[in-house]
Homo-oligomer: A and B are copies of this chain.
Amino acid sequence: MTLIKPRTLSGFRDYLPAAMIPRERLMQTAREVFRSFGFAPIDTPTLEYLEILTGKGSDETDRQIYRFEDNGGREVAMRFDLTVPLARFAAQHISTLGTPFKRYHIAPVWRGERPQAGRYREFVQCDFDTIGTTNVMADIETVAVINRLLETIGLDRFTICINNRAVLSELLRHLQLQDKSVELLRCLDKLAKIGRDQVAAEMCQVAAISEDQANQVLQLAELDGPANEIFERLPEITGGGDEALAAIQRLRDVYDGALASGVPNRRIKIDVSIARGLDYYTGMIFETTLNDLPSIGSICSGGRYDNLAGLYTKQHLPGIGASLGLDRLLAAMEQLEMLPKITTPAVAFVAYFDEAHRSDYLRLAANLRSGGIATEVYPDPKKLGLQLKYADAHGFRFALIAGESEWQAGKVQVKTLATKESIDVDYSHEDPGALIAILTQ
Which residues of A are interface residues toward B (Cβ below 8 A)?
A: 1, 3-10, 12-17, 20-21, 23-24, 28, 31, 35-49, 51-52, 55, 63, 66, 68-72, 74, 76, 78, 88-89, 91-93, 96-98, 100, 102-103, 108, 110, 112, 121-122, 130, 133, 135, 137-138, 140-141, 144, 148, 253, 256-257, 260-262, 309-314, 343-346, 349, 352, 358-360, 362-363, 365-366, 369-370, 374-381, 390, 393
Contact = CB atoms under 8 A, between A and B. Distances in A.
Contacts of A88: 6
A262 to B, nearest CB: 4
Contacts of A261: 362-363, 365-366
Contacts of A311: 3-4
B66 A42 contact: no
A352 B393 CA distance: 53
Given A36-B374, A260-B363, A112 B70 contact: yes
A10 B359 CA distance: 51
A7 B345 CA distance: 40
Given A7-B49, A41-B345, A363-B262, A374 B108 contact: no
A380 B100 contact: yes
Given A42-B20, A311-B4, A312-B3, A36 B137 contact: no
A261 to B, nearest CB: 5
A68 B378 CA distance: 43
29 contacts: A1-B310, A4-B52, A4-B311, A4-B312, A7-B49, A7-B92, A8-B44, A8-B92, A9-B70, A9-B76, A14-B42, A14-B89, A15-B44, A16-B93, A20-B41, A20-B42, A21-B40, A35-B346, A37-B374, A38-B349, A38-B374, A38-B375, A40-B343, A46-B122, A63-B71, A137-B358, A253-B358, A260-B359, A260-B366
Contacts of A89: 6, 14
A36 B346 contact: yes
A340 to B, nearest CB: 13
B38 A260 contact: no
B41 A344 contact: no
Given A14-B93, A47-B122, A311-B4, A359 B52 contact: no
Contact residues of A: prevailing secondary structure: mixed
Contacts of A70: 9, 66, 112
A375 B35 CA distance: 8
A408 B441 CA distance: 44
A3 B313 contact: yes
B55 A4 contact: yes
B344 A40 contact: yes
A16 B379 contact: no
A17 B346 contact: no
Given A39-B345, A46-B108, 13 more contacts: A4-B55, A6-B313, A7-B49, A8-B92, A14-B43, A15-B41, A17-B42, A37-B376, A41-B345, A70-B112, A100-B380, A137-B380, A140-B362
